Amino acid sequence: MNKPLMAKATAVWLVDNTTLSFKQVADFCGMHELEVQGIADGDVAPGVKGFDPVANNQLEQIEIDRGQKDPLYKLRLKFNAAAVGEEKRRGPRYTPLSKRQDRPAAILWLVKFHPELSDGAVGKLVGTTKPTIQSIRERTHWNINNISPVDPVALGLCRQSELDAAVQLAVRRKAVEGVVMSDDERRKLVSTEQSLGMATDAKIPTGLEAFTPAEQEEKPADFSDADSFFNLPHGDDDDEDDDDMDPRR
């Protein structure tokens, strides 16, 4: 195991009893830095009781002392021979009974603010079923009028790191597939290779683009020569006036 038991409760204790940075606590407990900041602000895990990692033989006090002196120091979990080989159990996420009534609000938040997430991704994040997600997407849920969207991280149904990873994975899949996404207005995400291979749209030339830069710039008249100054070009109308005024005619 690379993180302590009861990671969220351990993070609560470290935030309340030490001066470790949010980054240090997040790295040690396997959480996101913003989630630890939410614990400090009281927005995340408000009713969770702190779990002392020193008293429970998961962390040495010397590690805390080093971390408080050096903000870049990473805490090391105390070696536990009994935990060797233990892996995270695969399967659907378990949601406590006290939080199950919060799942519709979390689903509505994910559907509203992260439409790129598939039903399967939403189900893994909050531990629900696809029919429930579909009913909220289509607003056919029996209690849809009383449901308000709430961040699942604030409800304690998932971690910020898990939400970020799911969103990034969904965006990458959409970009590779070139699927149209919804974000207020429909927009298309394509990969860099696809965008570089696309043909550029033909531009409609404007009046200025019809000429070359050399033609657009008018050369100033050169009057340095006296003869050229007096021999200015005349139009047809000027020639006719000169003919009428010529006394030799």
- The tens digit of pLDDT for each residue in 104-163 reads 999 999 999 999 999 999 999 998 899 999 999 999 999 999 999 999 988 888 888 889
Kindly give the interhelix angle for 22-29 and 7-17, rounded to the nearest 10 degrees: 160
Range of 24's domain?
Answer: 7-83
d(CA 30, CA 182): 32
In this structure, the answer to whether residues 74 and 133 fall within a common structural domain is no
Mean pLDDT lowest among 47-51, 86-90, 178-182: 86-90
Residue with tokens 């139009």: 235
Percent composition of the chain: helix, strand, coil (DSSP 3-state, to 5): 50, 5, 45
* Pair 104, 57 in one domain: no
Residues 23 and 75 in one domain: yes
Choosing from 148, 177, 192, the residue where a domain stops is 192
> Is 242 part of a structural domain of the chain?
no
Q: In whole numbers, what is the pLDDT of the chain averaged over residues?
A: 75
Rounded to 5°, the CA angle 165-169-175 comes to 145
- Looking at 192, 226, 243, the residue that finishes a domain is 192
- Pair 117, 60 in one domain: no
Under 8 Å between Cβ of 116 and 171: yes
> Do 20 and 10 meet the contact criterion of CB atoms below 8 Å apart?
no
Q: Is residue 220 scored above 80 in pLDDT?
A: no
* Burial 76-90, CB ≥16 within 10 A → b, else e: ebeeeeeeeeeeeee
Whether 199 maps to a domain, the answer reads no
Strand partners, 131: none
Last residue of one domain, picked from the residues 28, 58, 83: 83
Percent of the chain whose predicted confidence (pLDDT) is above 70: 63
Asked if residue 183 and residue 105 are part of one domain, the reply reads: yes
How many structural domains does the chain have?
2
Same domain, 121 and 184: yes
The pLDDT assigned to 66 comes to 92
Give CA–CA dist 112/121, Å, rounded.
14
